[in-house]
Amino acid sequence: MSTTPALKDWPLWEVFIRSKQGLEHKHCGSLHAADAGQALDMARDVYTRRQEGVSIWVVPSAMITANNPDDKGELFDPAADKIYRHPTFYEIPEEVGHM
Amino acid sequence: MKAPLDYVLHLADNSLILGQRNAEWCGHGPILEEDIALANISLDLIGQARLLYQYAAELKGGGATEDKLAYLRGSREFRNYTLLELPHSGPLSGYARADRDYATTIVRNFFFSALMVLYWEALLQSKDEQLAAIAEKSIKEVRYHLRHARDWLVKLGDGTEASHARMRSALEHLMPYTKEFWVSSPAESQAVANGTGVDVASLRSQWDAIVNDGLNEATLIRPQDTSGYVTQGKEGVHSEHLDYVLAEMQSLARQYPNATW
């Protein structure tokens, strides 16, 4: 009998939950599961027990390409002093309401 | 129209005892996600039991309450299927983890949830409005229970040599207990007669189809139906295991009557 812990055998999945119709799916955590169907069922049990969701996506963590945290400086810092990119210099007409 | 008290208790006891059994996995699940899944399933079952006991208490009258029905009856008064009170250890005790064998848990949940998806569906037509309403809530829960059990049945049955052997063993151990489903108790006959209950025998071919389909996909061979002893838990004749379940479940309510927290 294999004694390999399941956590080593099973791929990791990232879980995205949509909390209500019209909102976007948000990343809420990850879990181990043998396949996509099981990952969905487990996500249902682990992340929607308190009515947190109306829709679940699961994505194999291995399919996500992430930036290297060490590149943070060159990737993100140059945006810091370009406040003119924020649309804060316009006056929004009242009729527009909340944007 | 009201269902017979013993019939409502039969349904309530089924849900409570299996809920209690499955809850034994809480904190001991093979993986965290399964721990949570089994606890969820238990809470669904105990929730069903509460609704049924509240209704049974109303039918019984004389100061009966859901707590008294759950915690202050003896094993002879319980009306659950014997299948549901058995421990989570199959005939492989001593080889598999002696106290908890997940294959046994999964096969039992598969058999019972396959029955209950049909049972609650049929109870939607009950002439007892209260039972029909409870069926409407329960059917969704039990559909998920079947999905969970069937998924694991297939994964473990069609898994490794070791997992297949354990599933086969659990299957052979538990299959004979399902015969109790199909033999009517007096309470069931009464409930069918007044239109409040389900003629369970009429569900058998559909149950067979669900079970055979699952076993087939799991590459498991269904044991031959034997002509041996048919358990009678639903008439109050239980295995010794129920007393241990009750001893643990009822100890607090019996030791500290009317305790609140």
How do residues B210-229 score in pLDDT, each as one tens digit?
999 999 999 999 998 777 89
Q: Which residues neighbour B52 within 8 Å (Cβ) at sequence distance 6 or greater? A: B8, B9, B11, B12, B15, B134
Is residue B20 over pLDDT 80? yes
Closest-CA residue in chain B for A44?
B37
Q: State the Cα–Cα distance between residues B109 and B107, nearest whole angstrom.
A: 6
Q: Check if A7 contacts B (Cβ < 8 Å).
A: yes
pLDDT in tens, B174-215: 999 999 999 999 999 999 999 999 999 999 999 999 999 999
B72: number of Cβ within 10 Å = 14
Q: State the Cα–Cα distance between residues B107 and B168, nearest whole angstrom.
A: 9
Q: What is the pLDDT of residue B99?
A: 67
3-state SS assignment for residue B178: helix
CB B54 within 8 A of CB B66: yes
Contact state of B36 with A45 under an 8 Å Cβ cutoff: yes
Q: HSE, CB side, 13 Å, CA atoms: give it for residue A6.
A: 12
Contacts of A33 in chain B (CB under 8 A): 33
Q: Check if A32 contacts B (Cβ < 8 Å).
A: yes
The C-alpha of B82 sits at a distance from chain A's nearest C-alpha, in angstroms, of 28
Closest CA to B11 of B54, B68, B62, B64: B54
Q: State the Cα–Cα distance between residues B150 and B217, nearest whole angstrom.
A: 10
Is residue A2 over pLDDT 50? no
pLDDT in tens, A46-92: 999 888 889 999 999 999 999 999 988 888 888 888 888 877 777 88
CB pairs under 8 A between A and B: 33
Average pLDDT along chain B: 94
Contacts of A2 in chain B (CB under 8 A): 160, 162
Q: What is the pLDDT of residue B131?
A: 97
Most A-contacting residue of B33, B41, B147 (CB-CB within 10 A), to test interface: B33
Contact state of A1 with B160 under an 8 Å Cβ cutoff: yes
The C-alpha of B39 sits at a distance from chain A's nearest C-alpha, in angstroms, of 9
Q: State the Cα–Cα distance between residues B201 and B33, nearest whole angstrom.
A: 36
As a whole-number percent, the residues of chain B with pLDDT over 70 amount to 96
DSSP β-ladder status, A55-60 and A26-32: unpaired
Q: What is the pLDDT of residue A8?
A: 65
pTM, full prediction: 0.87
3-state SS assignment for residue A29: strand
Q: State the Cα–Cα distance between residues B211 and B225, nearest whole angstrom.
A: 13
